[in-house]
Amino acid sequence: MKKIAVLPGDGIGPEVIGQARKALETVADKHDIELKFSCHAIGACSIDKYGVPITEETIKACLNADAVLLGAIGDPKYDNDPSAKIRPEQGLLTLRKELGLYANIRPVRCSDFMVDKTPLKPEMLKGVDLVIYRELIGGIYFGKKEKSDDFASDLCKYHDFEIDRIAKQAFITAQQRRKKLTLVDKANVLETSRLWRSRIQEMSKDFPDVQVDYLYVDNAAMQLIINPAQFDVILTENMFGDILSDEASVLAGSLGLLPSASIGTATSLFEPSHGSYPQVANLDKANPAATILSAAMLLDHLGYPDAGTDIREAVDWCIQHQFTTEDINDTNPVSCGMMGDMVAVRISEEEHVQPNKVNRETFYI
Ligand code: IPM
Ligand code: MG
């Protein structure tokens, strides 16, 4: 039996988590996997209820679980108040630190069925299949913060061991993929970047079969748009990874398709790369795919890759047959719940569902 701590969070979080649970329960049934879910508060909803963005109870439950599945965090009521002392995002940052989640892994693929749905030219997107390894518990996010009336400072620092542990994971992944690793930094300006570069140069000696490239972050931002297929594994520090992963999501067609896994020293955490998207919260319009695909990464991590593959296949099938939400389907979108239902139906069918027999309103066959 595997214990899953579920943290729906804010905005569209509860809706997309609902669909991911549906997929997990269906695939668990099919593969005889026993999953036990427990639900806990984080983010703005935790502030509203308990006065803090994350409680000890939530942290303990995550530490005691085999994996954590998180929805999204953030509420606009905190966004435009620079003086707010308590913020929903602190819940996520605290949890990342408590769980030691040093490696955030964000795969970006452009499916053949999405090439004409992105704002980029279709020919640019052929063969795009990359993965971002973003350092998650160091750098400017976690350095000393100082503030007075007319001054503020966020310190960016890295120790060699913080670089080495994620770099090793990224090299191993590159070895299993197309054997190319790109370190993104700003080594022409920043000391921390120069430390990253020297550690990666050193480590590359242990991985002679991996070709290593070095790109400044400003150039990398441009290369991601003009020649995205050149990338295999991108390794970068916390803040650059945050920015580049949102940019890279455009290559997949929607931020709503991008899953992520955060791996570390304690329980690993799986969450969509998107935020709480309050504009469509409670409207049953959000794309649940990123969270459902994060659940597939969770299953891979727990040692059930076949179950993970079933989920990915079902999401691909929905995309192929346009059972998709309005972010990637402007002609005939389905709701968040309906897309989740379609994923579950496709997973559970012994004989695979035929798209031409599916009634979109009721999905009866
Ligand atoms: C992400 C998010 C978070 C981050 C926010 C919500 C704190 O943007 O996971 O990419 O900046 O890391
Ligand atoms: Mg981000």
**pLDDT tens track for 348-359:** 986 667 776 676
pLDDT above 90 (res 362): no
Number of structural domains (the chain) is 2
Q: What's the distance, Cα to Cα, between the start and end of the chain in Å? A: 33
Mutate to test the pocket of ligand 1, among 7, 10, 89 (most ligand atoms within 8 A of CB): 89
Percent of the chain with pLDDT over 90: 90
Say what the pLDDT of residue 79 is.
Answer: 85
Across the range 205-233, mean pLDDT stands at 98
Mean pLDDT, all residues of the chain: 95
Give the separation between CA 215 and CA 217, rounded to whole angstroms.
6
Q: Which atom of ligand 1 is nearest to the CA of 96?
A: 12
92 in ligand 1 pocket by Cβ < 6 Å?
yes
Q: What are the pLDDT digits (tens) for 76-92? A: 999 888 888 899 999 99
CA angle 305, 363, 333 (to 5 degrees): 85
Say what the pLDDT of residue 350 is.
Answer: 61
Among 35-44, 108-117, 118-127, top mean pLDDT goes to 35-44
Say what the pLDDT of residue 234 is.
Answer: 98
**Same domain, yes or no, for 246 and 267?**
no
Q: What are the pLDDT digits (tens) for 273-306? A: 999 999 999 999 999 999 999 999 999 999 999 9
pLDDT above 80 (res 267): yes
Full residue range of the structural domain in which residue 328 is found: 1-103+263-365
- Our answer to whether residue 160 is catalytic in this structure is no
Domain boundary residue among 252, 284, 304? 252
Across the range 63-83, mean pLDDT stands at 93
Say what the pLDDT of residue 116 is.
Answer: 87
Give the separation between CA 220 and CA 109, rounded to whole angstroms.
17
Does residue 325 fall inside a structural domain? yes
pLDDT above 60 (res 210): yes
Give distance in angstroms: CA of 209 to centre of ligand 1. 33
Does residue 293 fall inside a structural domain? yes
Give distance in angstroms: CA of 348 to centre of ligand 1. 33
Distances (CA, A) of 174 to 129, 130, 210, 212: 12, 10, 7, 10
242 in ligand 1 pocket by Cβ < 6 Å?
yes
**Same domain, yes or no, for 327 and 270?**
yes
Q: In this structure, which residue's CA is closest to atom 11 in ligand 1?
A: 242
- Our answer to whether residue 141 is catalytic in this structure is yes
**Same domain, yes or no, for 163 and 247?**
yes
Domain boundary residue among 191, 220, 252? 252
Does residue 108 fall inside a structural domain? no
Q: Which atom of ligand 1 is nearest to the CA of 92?
A: 7
Contacts (Cβ under 8 Å, ≥6 apart) of 332? 322, 360
Does residue 114 fall inside a structural domain? no
**Same domain, yes or no, for 292 and 235?**
no
- Our answer to whether residue 116 is catalytic in this structure is no
Give distance in angstroms: CA of 13 to centre of ligand 2. 15
Say what the pLDDT of residue 349 is.
Answer: 84
Does residue 257 fall inside a structural domain? no
Nearest ligand, CA 276: 1
Say what the pLDDT of residue 351 is.
Answer: 60
**Same domain, yes or no, for 136 and 93?**
no
Q: In this structure, which residue's CA is closest to atom 10 in ligand 1?
A: 242
- Find the catalytic residue in 10, 102, 117, 186: 186
Q: What are the pLDDT digits (tens) for 235-244? A: 999 999 999 9
Say what the pLDDT of residue 291 is.
Answer: 98
Across the range 61-90, mean pLDDT stands at 93
Say what the pLDDT of residue 305 is.
Answer: 98
Across the range 315-320, mean pLDDT stands at 95
Domain boundary residue among 231, 252, 273? 252
Q: What are the pLDDT digits (tens) for 160-180? A: 999 999 999 999 999 999 999
pLDDT above 80 (res 156): yes
**Same domain, yes or no, for 278 and 357?**
yes
- Find the catalytic residue in 66, 129, 246, 300: 246
pLDDT above 60 (res 365): no
**Same domain, yes or no, for 78 and 144?**
no
Does residue 112 fall inside a structural domain? no
Give the separation between CA 99 and CA 241, rounded to whole angstroms.
19
What CATH number should be reported for the domain holding residue 7?
3.40.718.10
pLDDT above 70 (res 226): yes
Does residue 14 fall inside a structural domain? yes
CA angle 221, 275, 260 (to 5 degrees): 70
Nearest ligand, CA 72: 1
